[in-house]
A and B are shown apart, each in its own frame.
Chain A
Amino acid sequence: MNLFRLAGDMTHLLSIVVLLLKIRTTKSCAGISLKTQELYALVFVTRYLDLFSRYVSFYNSVMKLVFLGTSFAIVWYMRYHKVVKQTYNKDEDTFKHYFLVLPSFVLALLIPHAFNTVEILWTFSIYLEAVAILPQLVLLQRSRNIDNLTGNYVFLLGGYRVLYLFNWVYRLFMEENHKMRWIRDFVEILNTAWMSGLVQTALYADFFYYYIKSWKNREKLKLTA
């Protein structure tokens, strides 16, 4: 495992910690999209179906359990916690799940890694993760004031994707035994995971722009439509 991958995972983990911290300490989930959180829970369930059948490392297994557990905890807080659920911006979080789930699933059926249930759902989870942030970004656009924790949460989530891209480039060049192998692999750049990762990172570009601008000007974060 290289440093980019580790930094990416830690950033991802930190984003979840920040979100749970916001929910638990402020007893509020204002500005957080339940749609996005439910989609992430679905992403983790469909991706980690091989949790018990395919062992990679202790680190991987623990992290998978953490991601599964925390994503369901967040959804539980937003849906059922009697104080937290009242702070949910239900009227502004109107993005439809199926609008993202359906195309991801159709695409996974068309271009699966291999044709069996686990592989199709794995491919589906890769596509879905790429676009699952959309309801959250739409909600941010609609919110007048974005509190620091919410801003930091989305920033860390985007940071995780950028670090994963660096990780893939690093692996592409460093992990090949054959010197010319990377040229063939580079043609393969249009494959599932890479394209999804690129799309996902691009989605954050706009957010990053306003985040850094507000940080430079020491202003409160505000996205203008």
Chain B
Amino acid sequence: CLQEHVKDEL
């Protein structure tokens, strides 16, 4: 899911 995508960002 997209939310999981951005979790490894800053």
Q: Give 20 A-B contacts (CB < 8 Å), ordered by A residue.
A: A9-B10, A12-B10, A56-B8, A63-B10, A113-B3, A126-B6, A164-B9, A168-B2, A168-B5, A172-B2, A172-B5, A175-B5, A185-B1, A185-B2, A188-B2, A189-B2, A192-B3, A193-B3, A193-B6, A194-B2
Q: Which of chain A's residues 171-225 have a Cβ closer than 8 Å to chain B?
A: 171-172, 175, 185, 188-189, 191-194
Q: Which of chain A's residues 149-182 have a Cβ closer than 8 Å to chain B?
A: 164, 167-168, 171-172, 175
Cα A192 to Cα B2 in complex, Å, equals: 9
Total A-B residue pairs with C-beta atoms closer than 8 Å? 33
For A50, give the chain B residue with the smallest CB separation.
B7
In this complex, how many residues of chain B approach chain A with their Cβ under 8 Å: the count is 8
Q: Is A60 an interface residue (CB 8 A)?
A: yes
Residues of B whose CB lies within 8 Å of any CB of A are 1-3, 5-6, 8-10
For B10, give the chain A residue with the smallest CB separation.
A63
Q: Is A67 an interface residue (CB 8 A)?
A: yes
For A189, the chain B residues whose CB sits under 8 A away are: 2
Cα A74 to Cα B9 in complex, Å, equals: 23
- Min CB–CB distance A11 → chain B (angstroms): 12
